[in-house]
Amino acid sequence: MSTQILTYFAVGLSFALYIGIAIWSRAGSTKEFYVAGGGVHPVANGMATAADWMSAASFISMAGIIAFAGYDGSVYLMGWTGGYVLLALLLAPYLRKFGQFTVPDFIGERFYSKTARVVAVLCLIVISFTYIAGQMRGVGVVFSHFLNVPITIGVFIGMAVVFFYAVLGGMKGITYTQVAQYCVLIFAYMVPAIFISILITGNPIPQLGLGSMVADGSGMTVLQKLDTTLVDLGFNPYTLGSKSMVDVFAITLALMVGTAGLPHVIVRFFTVPKVSDARKSAGYALVFIALLYTTAPAVGAFARINFIETVNGATYENAEENGGAPTFFKTFERIGLDTWVDKNDDGVMQYSAGAPFVGKPKFTGELGSHGERLVSNELTANANEVYVDRDIMVLANPEIAKLPGWVIALVAAGGIAAALSTAAGLLLVISASISHDLLKKTFMPSISDKQELLAARGAAIVAISVAGYLGINPPGFVAQVVALAFGLAACSLFPAILMGIFFKGMNKEGAIAGMLAGLAFTISYIVYFKSPWFGAVNTADNWFFGISPEGIGSVGMAINFAVAIAVAKFTKPTPVEVQDLVDDIRIPTGAGVAHQH
């Protein structure tokens, strides 16, 4: 059976499973749609949380970033895992004890203000759409490669599947679908990692393989070989960071506190029966997450070694078995995710430091003398002839290592599962914030349960349409887009949630001013450096204190705290009944019972 047929089978089977679960667990009430009825077992919720949180950025893009950035890629590992611990210990149990449906619900009640609720919805929508752009882009990349369709068509297929089980099943359908997706994605990630670790080092445990000797007789470890190879090609050593310490700290902090402020992850802790179950499900999720996150550095290192060995020095027009360009390279070239520019017209692919041309490839539709796809981009002066998109590395790994077709098919199903699980969770928090927080709790309080459920499904349809557009026209590669979303969460929702739980004196005026100030500053900075409209040079020389757009959320968070505290000092104090509410959330009496307001 061909790899293509196996891929169709694996992806089709996983889709049938997800849709079957959605039909089985169809939501019949707003409580089931928003929080799965509040009756999910902690182990199942831990798996669902892990799938929700480990997005296309974790599955597809993170190992690719580590493969190309080396030591600098560690900020994503430290920030995302550290942030999950922060969320589990500092926020989740208190929010569960509060017992509402959404993050804006908590902010609206705690800060006794419809305006605060609306501002929280605004923050949530900005965060979620920025995040979902990365997921839909990931869906498009996976589909376009494995199913041989354009990225745009891949995004549309992903939209259709997510639409079906998110709109039909709500949180109840999404939760049990995400349990299945976690099983698919972790199996799909670990199997090729184990295979490749054995091939490169002889060690079946990837985490240990990263520190083992390469099985080529060189006597070097994986990291030593990478350092030597990359320096020979003009790159920085793999184990030496190039980012400033300030930027490393800022990105790590933004990712950590951004994780703790992500609405689609926080809402998962509202789906369990008791406060103690929220703590348990957080612990289980951390174990499930650690399986992938401790493997990613090894996957990234192995991918970079294999990529260099198979691409650099290959004669493009020859067949792969005769020293030609590997099959995976030509497959991804067809969809614009890698390409080769023969600068010296020798037919041999030279891979070294520097960009081969300016910008992303713009293909002319013509072929060169060696069969390569020609680009119209202005060429750069350096010797590098190879362009490669970071997002392809995990997907290409099994093909680079010549693993069996069923492993390649499994990775396709896993990549799609990772992207769809997070996309579904994000769609749900967007639809819930619009139907529950804007309509039911703010502008149309008289609507019935049935009308609210209908509005939630309508909002999900609009949200998935916007998500699809952002997936087709993303502002960067997957993990970069996702990192920006974490920065937006760090500067807006996290401070409001933290002060709402631990600072009784924080009033509505302070919280609203803080959220708006943090969000306005961070969005302005990101747009200035990331959008094509301003033409700002996105380099460390021009950044504020050397902090990149990916890390600026940490500064936005500090601004949020400072503005909120300053405004709170000069405005009316928090009402006594709200201060009592804060005490009630924080005191663990009756911790086994969900407190309703």
Residue 335: pLDDT above 70?
yes
pLDDT at 206: 94
Structure confidence by residue, pLDDT tens digits, 303-316:
999 999 999 999 99
Q: Return d(Cα 545, Cα 59) in angstroms, integer.
A: 32
Q: pLDDT confidence of 27, banded at 50, 70, 90?
A: low
Q: Return d(Cα 55, Cα 5) in angstroms, integer.
A: 26
What is the mean pLDDT of the segment spanning 17-22?
78
Q: Return d(Cα 436, Cα 30) in angstroms, integer.
A: 9
What is the mean pLDDT of the segment spanning 394-423?
81
Instruction: With beta carbons less than 8 A apart as the criterion, state whether 271 and 38 touch.
Output: yes
Structure confidence by residue, pLDDT tens digits, 361-379:
999 989 988 888 999 999 9
Least confident of 18-27, 447-456, 542-551: 18-27
Q: Is 572 helix (H, G, I), strand (E, B) or coil?
A: coil
pLDDT at 597: 46
Q: Return d(Cα 573, Cα 444) in angstroms, integer.
A: 29
Q: What stretch of H or E contains 387?
A: strand 386-388
How many percent of the chain have pLDDT more than 90?
30
Fill in the amino acid letter for 197.
Answer: S
pLDDT at 26: 66
pLDDT at 588: 55
- The model's pTM is 0.81
Structure confidence by residue, pLDDT tens digits, 166-188:
666 666 777 888 888 888 889 88
Q: Return d(Cα 207, Cα 198) in angstroms, integer.
A: 12
Q: Return d(Cα 400, Cα 51) in angstroms, integer.
A: 26
The answer to whether the Cα torsion of 528, 490, 61, 427 is positive or negative is: negative
